[in-house]
C-alpha cells in the first residue's frame, strides 16, 4: 500500500503548520517552499483540510493558514483519513459485514490483511503532529541541522 501525494503532501503541510503553531498564520507560499510541494496542489489540499476543520485561514496581508487545534490534538490519522479515505491493504477488510467476499470466513489471507490494518491504525491513530515535531527536533539535534528559528525555539523552552 502506497499513500498518494495527497496524503504525503498533506501530512507535510500539517507538520509545517504544527512547527509554526502559536506564531500566527503561515502563508501558503512558505509551506510550499519549505516542504517542496507545488503551490497549486497545496491549495487544493488545504481546502480539503479546512473543510474538515483541521485548518483555518486568515485573510489579509499577514494572512495564511493555522491549525485549528494544538498539534498534540491532531493525529496522523486525522490528516491521512481526511485526504486519503480509509487506509487498508485490501478492500475486504474495510467491509465489516463480509458481503464483498464469498470466501471471507475461510480466507487465510484476510487474517493477514486484518493484522496489517490493525498495525496501520495502531500507528496513525496514536501518532500526532506533536510527535512528528518532537521527532524532527531530535533528528536536527543529532545531525546539527537546526535552523535559526528552531534554535530560538529550543532556547525558549
1's CB contacts (< 8 A; 6+ apart) are 87, 88, 89, 120
142's CB contacts (< 8 A; 6+ apart) are none
**Domain chopping of the chain, boundaries:** 5-85
**Taking the CA of residue 20 as centre, how many other CA atoms within 13 Å lie in the half-sphere pointing to its CB?**
19
Region 11-24 average pLDDT:
96
Count of positions (residues) in the chain: 157
Q: To which H or E segment does residue 55 belong?
A: strand 55-58
Q: Which residues of 90-115 are buried (b: 16+ CB within 10 A; e: fewer)?
A: bebbeeeeeeeeeeeeeeeebeebee
Q: What percent of the chain has pLDDT over 90?
A: 67
- Model confidence over 30-75: pLDDT tens digits? 999 999 999 999 999 999 999 999 999 999 888 999 999 999 999 9
CATH number listed for the domain at residues 5-85: 1.10.10.10
How far, in Å, CA of 42 to CA of 47, rounded? 9
pTM for this entry: 0.83
Bridge partners of 66, per DSSP, are 56
Amino acid at each position: 500500500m502506497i499513500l498518494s501525494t495527497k496524503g504525503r503532501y498533506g501530512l507535510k503541510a500539517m507538520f509545517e503548520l504544527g512547527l509554526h503553531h502559536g506564531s500566527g498564520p503561515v502563508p501558503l507560499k512558505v509551506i510550499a517552499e519549505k516542504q517542496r510541494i507545488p503551490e497549486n496542489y497545496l491549495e487544493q489540499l488545504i481546502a480539503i483540510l479546512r473543510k474538515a476543520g483541521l485548518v483555518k485561514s486568515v485573510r489579509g496581508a499577514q494572512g495564511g493558514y493555522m491549525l485549528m487545534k494544538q498539534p498534540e490534538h491532531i493525529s496522523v490519522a486525522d490528516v491521512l483519513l481526511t485526504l486519503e479515505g480509509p487506509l487498508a491493504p485490501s478492500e475486504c477488510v474495510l467491509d465489516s459485514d463480509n458481503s464483498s467476499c464469498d470466501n471471507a470466513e475461510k480466507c487465510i489471507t484476510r487474517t493477514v490483511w486484518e493484522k496489517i490494518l490493525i498495525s496501520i491504525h495502531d500507528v496513525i491513530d496514536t501518532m500526532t503532529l506533536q510527535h512528528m515535531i518532537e521527532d524532527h527536533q531530535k533528528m536536527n539535534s543529532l545531525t546539527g541541522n537546526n535552523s535559526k528559528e528552531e534554535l530560538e525555539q529550543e532556547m525558549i523552552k
